[in-house]
Amino acid sequence: MLLYRVWCPEHGESVEDGTRIEASNAEEAAEDWAEHEDNSSAEYHIVGKRSRPVVCVQAANGVGAVTQWLVRGEAVPSYYATEICSACRSLEGEHTFGAACTYKEAQ
């Protein structure tokens, strides 16, 4: 992993204001900056497609060219599954799994 400095001139930032990001390459540093920026504002302008900022990336030691990256994102749906009792459809925690369910006997 390498250390990069990432800043966004559109936000009034200069190299001195840059965020230090550890990444494998400049592209990953720009993507990590975008994720951090969206998470810190909690408004998700980049993922919500309301903003497509251009950021500058340079090795943190100041050596090498400054590259520019257009950053954008997309929201990715997440799905979850919770085991339920096949007899009574209770969620785990509503009764003890592994114990005999008394649902059928109570009806």
8 versus 88: which is more confidently predicted? 8
85 & 66 share domain:
no
Do 10 and 59 belong to one domain?
Answer: yes
| Whether 64 and 83 share a structural domain | no
Structural domain boundaries enclosing 89: 78-107
Rounded to two decimals, the pTM is: 0.70
Same domain, 47 and 12: yes
Q: Same domain, yes or no, for 88 and 43? A: no
- Statement to judge: residues 24 and 62 lie in one domain: yes
Residues 95, 65 share a domain? no
Considering the domain architecture, whether residues 54 and 9 belong to the same structural domain is answered as yes
Query: 51 and 97 share a domain?
Result: no
Cα three-residue angle 90-96-101, rounded to 5 degrees: 65
Number of separate domains in the chain: 2
Task: Give the pLDDT confidence score for residue 107 in this predicted structure.
Answer: 45
Q: Are residues 12 and 63 in the same domain?
A: yes
Residue 106: pLDDT above 60? no
pLDDT one-digit tens code per residue, 35-90: 999 988 878 899 888 889 999 999 999 999 999 999 999 888 788 887 777 777 77
SS (H, E, C) 82-95: CCECCCCCCEECCE
